[in-house]
Copies of this chain bind each other. A is one copy, B any other.
């Protein structure tokens, strides 16, 4: 029966609880890893010189395969538009588009590394759902930090702009600070403690300023770590203070580990 086929197909593609579905996901996982590795290897000049033709052929093979898979997913999805618009739907499409674009524009094939995002999906193959749970806690913590991070970034960008303009005036193009944008780049390299050294202050006054920037900057840049740590603690990453103990009366799900009454309705837990 046709409907039956579509449903069975959807089960194999979207679920992982039958041997067939599992085999499909494992095969997909390896196909993704291998195809990404091929593209990474193709970028190495010596490899490209010797195996370029082979790599491109394989690349097209994988792309046709993934295109077919994408078509099947759209076909078998219960809510087609829902799938196409979902995060995974968009990633699945982005995983094949770059290769087709090479017909028009050279170099786009390297964007197939976006395929690596598909690996996030096949995590569940190995019953790694608990990892995704952890990822969820991480994501919650990061989302909760979002506003603090926006405030923080705005402040940092203002500081970086002012430091950059000052260093541009102090050091000038003669010492590599060619323009304010370049000086801003230097300020970010310094504040994040990356410190390439491609541009560094030369004049005594510039060095003194840079030293102040580093020390102040270190304090500034300690803030994200503090924010993330605090949010992780709060999101229950550190286990207690909150545990999952639903209130029998009102259903509030989490309570502090040593609570004896629901903090919402006062019912004894």
In the complex, the answer to whether B110 meets A168 with C-beta atoms within 8 Å is: yes
**Residue numbers in B under 8 Å from A259 (CB-CB):** 263-264
Contact partner of A181 among B43, B132, B173, CB < 8 A? B43
In the complex, the answer to whether B253 meets A257 with C-beta atoms within 8 Å is: yes
Contact flags A16-55 to B (C-beta < 8 A → 1, else 0): 0000000000000000000010011001110000000000
Contact flags A252-266 to B (C-beta < 8 A → 1, else 0): 111111111111111
In the complex, the answer to whether B222 meets A224 with C-beta atoms within 8 Å is: yes
Which A172-219 residues sit within 8 Å CB-CB of chain B? 173, 178-185, 188-190, 192-198, 200, 204, 207-208, 210-211, 214-215, 217-219
**Residue numbers in B under 8 Å from A195 (CB-CB):** 189, 193-197
The answer to the question of A149 belonging to the interface, with a C-beta cut-off of 8 Å to chain B, is yes
The copy count of this chain in the complex is 4
The distance in angstroms between the C-alpha atoms of A132 and B147, with both chains bound, is 10
Give the distance to chain B from A196, nearest Cβ to Cβ, in Å.
4
In the complex, the answer to whether A253 meets B263 with C-beta atoms within 8 Å is: no
The answer to the question of A81 belonging to the interface, with a C-beta cut-off of 8 Å to chain B, is no
How many residues of A are in contact with the other chain, CB < 8 A?
110
Considering the complex, give the chain B residue whose CB is closest to the CB of A255: B263
The answer to the question of A86 belonging to the interface, with a C-beta cut-off of 8 Å to chain B, is no
Considering the complex, give the chain B residue whose CB is closest to the CB of A180: B43
**Residue numbers in B under 8 Å from A45 (CB-CB):** 173, 178-179
In the complex, the answer to whether B179 meets A152 with C-beta atoms within 8 Å is: no
The answer to the question of A74 belonging to the interface, with a C-beta cut-off of 8 Å to chain B, is no
Give the distance to chain B from A125, nearest Cβ to Cβ, in Å.
13
User: Known: A149-B219, A151-B131, A200-B196. Is A165-B237 also a contact (CB below 8 A)?
Assistant: no
The answer to the question of A4 belonging to the interface, with a C-beta cut-off of 8 Å to chain B, is no
The answer to the question of A58 belonging to the interface, with a C-beta cut-off of 8 Å to chain B, is no
Give the top 4 A-B pairs by smallest Cβ distance, nearest first: A266-B266, A261-B266, A194-B195, A196-B197
Q: List 7 A-B contacts (CB under 8 A).
A: A43-B183, A113-B162, A113-B180, A230-B237, A234-B241, A256-B263, A261-B265
Given A138-B151, A195-B196, A254-B258; 10 other pairs, CB 8 A cutoff: A39-B165, A45-B179, A110-B180, A113-B180, A116-B161, A119-B154, A192-B215, A196-B196, A197-B198, A266-B266
